Amino acid sequence: METCDVAIIGGGLAGLSLAARLAEPRFKNWRVRVLEPRTEYVRDRTWCYWAKHAANDSHERAPLHPFLASVAMCWPQWEVMYRADNASEYEAAVRTGRYSYEMIPADRFYTQTERLISSSSHVKLLKGVTVSETVIRPDGVEIKTDDGSLNAALVFDSRPTAKLSSAAWIQRFQGFELEADEPVFELHRATLMDFSVSSAADSEAGRVHFIYVLPLSDRRALIEDTWFVSVSDACNDVDYQSQIKHYLKRRYGLENYRVVHREEGALPMDPALRPSALTSRIVKIGAGGGMARASSGYAFFETQRACDAIADKLMAQFPVVGEFSLPRWRGDISYWMDAVFLRVLAQRPALAPKIFFDLFSTVPPDALARFLSGVATPFDVAKVIAACPKIPFLKAAFFRS
């Protein structure tokens, strides 16, 4: 049976992010194997996250992850749109600060990580391999695959988790990248949430509905029809494509365009999924290991931070390693706040558009970007709490239904 020091199950975002760190020369004496069922990588998703720039007027930026070469776009402004009760016009909370909203198309990331891995002699990406079982043995972990077994001293498992807690929600979305005949998009501004598509019927059905628009040029954009729903709601009655079609016509007067790429997702938003300590021989990583923010389903930023921390821990004290990722108090606060937030959505879905609009219009943009990225300071947290409606949040904090 082949043996290795570290096996990474799953070569997706978390698996490849960790493999890219372990491909650094400082790990050259480690045998690392990544096991991935896919035989070929394609653009199956687009990751966005907030990245801090050193100053508004400078392109210098704080290094965040090893994949800067894969960044395709960056928006210095972002907005949330909402219409107050009885108001005739929609308002936009447009924000800009030291953080930009940045985008990495998955195919660029896969190509870059494959190149990083193949340039090292000690890390190997084994494609077309599906793991069926892991068994802890006295001398390591036996990983059973459809291509034989592998023995590893330490395993990082990024397979998605099928089991969600009763507090979980799902973010369902479908959309596409389009090329229009005329210039209609404002290139520097990302629309993170446009609640103009949201109706009373959506809230009555316990759903939160918005559209997401990322302009890629004045004629090109990625647009997604997005729903936060309970785990049991498969959104089978939702016609995502016609939602987008009507939206494009209403907002941009756009009827003629070509779809150049499609994507969809169902992201778990589960506050019960938390990163585990690096104490056992099998460590869950990725969204299934709690590296996705429960209130947004976003995982890119947290995954990068966690992979840096894991690599440093491994280098420092393998095989006895301790906690990784967030300092405990920070993790506790953000997981608790996400749990309360999801309970507010469950109890009062109709409030969601105003809550998001108030957050984006009143919390200073840098504080909000840090909060949404899971790196809020205590002052940031205080500002976010101050922007939330007190009674629904207090009720959700103390009563579960």
Ligand X SMILES: Cc1cc2nc3c(=O)[nH]c(=O)nc-3n(C[C@H](O)[C@H](O)[C@H](O)COP(=O)(O)OP(=O)(O)OC[C@H]3O[C@@H](n4cnc5c(N)ncnc54)[C@H](O)[C@@H]3O)c2cc1C
Binding stretches for ligand X (CB under 6 A): 9-15, 35-38, 45-49, 130-131, 158-160, 263, 265, 267, 286-288, 292, 297-300
| Closest CA relative to residue 266, chosen from 289, 292, 303, 304 | 292
| Alpha-carbon separation of residue 74 from 49, 53, 78, 259 (angstroms) | 10, 11, 10, 22
Q: Nearest distance from residue 276's CB to ligand X, in Å?
A: 14
| Alpha-carbon separation of residue 323 from 106, 210, 227, 282 (angstroms) | 29, 37, 34, 14
Contact predicate 34/326, CB 8 Å: no
Name which of 227 and 393 has its Cβ closer to ligand X.
Answer: 227
Q: Nearest distance from residue 374's CB to ligand X, in Å?
A: 11
Structure tokens at 371: 């909060």
Name which of 66 and 297 has its Cβ closer to ligand X.
Answer: 297
| Closest CA relative to residue 62, chosen from 295, 304, 275, 299 | 304
Name which of 40 and 237 has its Cβ closer to ligand X.
Answer: 40
Q: Nearest distance from residue 34's CB to ligand X, in Å?
A: 9
Name which of 47 and 82 has its Cβ closer to ligand X.
Answer: 47
Bridge partners for 104 per DSSP = 47
Q: Nearest distance from residue 107's CB to ligand X, in Å?
A: 12
Name the residue with the smallest CB distance to ligand X: 12
Angle in degrees, CA 359, 361, 362, rounded to 5: 70
Name which of 265 and 392 has its Cβ closer to ligand X.
Answer: 265
Name which of 369 and 396 has its Cβ closer to ligand X.
Answer: 369
Q: Nearest distance from residue 283's CB to ligand X, in Å?
A: 13
Bridge partners for 264 per DSSP = 174
